[in-house]
Amino acid sequence: MSTKFLYKSLLMPAVAFALAACAGNTPCPATDAAPQASAGEVAADTQAVPQGNAPAGESSIAGDKSTSAPGKQAVAPHSDASPVFTSSALDSYRLASPDSIPATSPHKGGSADNVAHNTPIPVLNNVPVDPYTAFPALVSRVFAYADSLYAQGLTDSASAYLQRFRIIKPLWNTWETQTDSMLNEFGKTRAEKAKAFEPYVLTIQNMNRVQAAYSMVKETADSLIALAPGDSLVNWANGQMQVAYKNTLAKAKKEYASIKALADDHAQFKEAAQKANELQMRYRDFEKEIQIQALIDYIAGLMAANDEEATKYWESHDPAEALAKAGELVKAGKYAEAKSLLTKLKASQLRKEAGTKYQELANTFCNAQRKTTSQIFAKAQKQKDATKKKKLLQDAIAPLDKCLAEYPEYTQKQKVVDNKSFLEKELAK
């Protein structure tokens, strides 16, 4: 047997064995002439996870390994349908690089957008980003995307993606350092500005302490804001203006009530009108809140209702004596005389007391009318003749009409109206 024949005899079984190995789950050896990567080299590739835009100084950690290095055979990613591998078998497979991750990347509008649609990433459109919501939203999408890869059976791609996320930690340290540096710089600037604008701050504080007029505080605060002191001081100045506004509004309302009482209770219409005009000049910023012009018009109406002759009358007559006489007239049942005198007293300095006595008169008169109505209604209930009963019900309504006509401002007017309505229903039966 020749040497050549012996060589062929030994070679054929070896080839058959190799082909059988290729049919299984073990990867086929390379058939080209290029040298194969050792297990250690492939394992190193497995640990080195690429990062697309790695910062300076981190290229050794996240270099781009998406294609086989020169002299290495490219190997297809591991399929989850294959059996569990030992570490030596896993070394023959490379984790998928970002370039080879399926097109379900959140940057390409894939499945991760569907999985993590509840945590949208804020978009920068000149709107400040809240780090407490923006960063958690981004992280949620990272985890959701990794889960989506895993659900598709792409465990290698999922692992590569999470490894890439994990090595962000050094970047975070850099960001913290930069944050501290910026905070330090901003703090110095704020301190310098605070010192420069301190006189304005103290002035405004003192003004509000003594409750100075809103217009004065506003003028000083506007001067401070015009110097562009920074957002913190601008916000503070605006807040101080609001404090001054509330303080001044409270004072204006108090004066308003005092002026109205001067007209309503003391019939000092001219003095009240003058003070109301002064109030309007001093508190022009508060017209909407307290309606000063309406007060001026109200006082003018009172002046028109109380003629000069009635006002002059009390310059030579004692209003206190007249008020006492009006009380006696009410007790005596002389309601018309009492009403005339009390109406005249509304033009005196005892206007408030006259108003109170006038209400007493209205109550006394209307109660008497209601009593009369009650007595007539009781008679009507006993009357069996329909015509006579109807006449009595009409008579019962008459006193109530008299009350409403004489004293429309009667405090218990609604009771009178209800009584009249009841009688009208009885009359209609």
Token pair belonging to 323: 């008020």
Token pair belonging to 415: 């009771």
377 or 106: which leads in pLDDT: 377
Tell me, what's the pLDDT at 309? 67
256: CB partners within 8 A, 6+ apart:
279, 290, 292, 295
Tell me, what's the pLDDT at 178? 92
Tell me, what's the pLDDT at 206? 94
Say how far apart CA 333 and CA 339 lie, in whole Å: 11
Mean pLDDT score of the chain: 74
> Residue 159 gets which letter from DSSP?
H
Helices 169-196 and 198-209 pack at an angle, to 10 degrees, of: 70
Tell me, what's the pLDDT at 205? 92
Tell me, what's the pLDDT at 398? 94
Where does 210-334 show beta strands of DSSP type E?
Answer: none
Tell me, what's the pLDDT at 121? 52
Say how far apart CA 289 and CA 389 lie, in whole Å: 57
Say how far apart CA 110 and CA 226 lie, in whole Å: 51
pLDDT in tens, 352-370: 888 888 888 999 999 999 9
Average pLDDT rounded to a whole number, residues 270-282 = 91
Token pair belonging to 250: 């409270």
Position 195 confidence tier, pLDDT thresholds 50, 70, 90: confident
Answer yes or no: is pLDDT of 185 > 60.
yes
Cα atoms in the Cβ-side hemisphere of radius 13 Å centred on 72:
21
Position 308 confidence tier, pLDDT thresholds 50, 70, 90: low
